[in-house]
Amino acid sequence: MPAAAALSPWQSLASGVAGAVSLTAAHQLAGTLFDGAPRMDVLAMRGLARAHAAVGAPVPEGRTLYREAMAGDLVANSLYYAAVGLGPPEHAWRRGVGLGLLAGVGAVLAPRLLDLDRGADERRPRRELGAVALYLLGGLAAAAAASAMRSRG
């Protein structure tokens, strides 16, 4: 049986966008439905504000800061999840799971290492597990999009 064709770079990027949009939508929905949901949006805003201050740029505030953080998250996550569409087609689901779990663990560890987390509370374990689950969802969505594009030829 002939090997399945790899995705083009544009198709890989499209699968990454699917993963990033799924992650962001699920994250925003979880934030409205569950007390103690992961707040990666808040951490992104803190990091963006710190980066602006570090280079002496004016720090955006309010909705501007939120929009910039969300745009940055979408771009970065799209590029990250695009890797799901690269490589042998038969391993897209494995890459989706692996990259999703890796991003989730990074989302748990990075705020502590960068001093963006404002301390522990009783909801932390649930928030951390939720963050890993959301990033895994993004990886699975990217794998589903990559698989769908491959099956359409």
| End-to-end Cα distance, the chain | 16
Q: How confident is the model at residue 6 (pLDDT cuts 50, 70, 90)?
A: confident
Residue 1 pLDDT > 50 = no
Residue 10 pLDDT > 50 = yes
At residue 47's C-alpha, the angle toward residues 134 and 72, to 5°, is 60
pLDDT at 115: 80
Give residue-wise pLDDT tens across range 53-73.
999 999 999 999 999 999 999
* Alpha-carbon distances, residue 146 vs 87, 95, 153 (angstroms): 11, 11, 11
Q: What is the DSSP letter of 36?
A: T
CB-CB contact of 46 with 116 (8 Å): yes
The fraction of the chain above a pLDDT of 70, given in percent, is 92
CB-CB contact of 71 with 2 (8 Å): no
pLDDT at 5: 74
Give residue-wise pLDDT tens across range 91-136.
999 999 999 999 999 999 988 888 877 666 666 788 899 999 999 9
Output the six-digit token pair for 17.
């966008």
Residue 75 pLDDT > 60 = yes
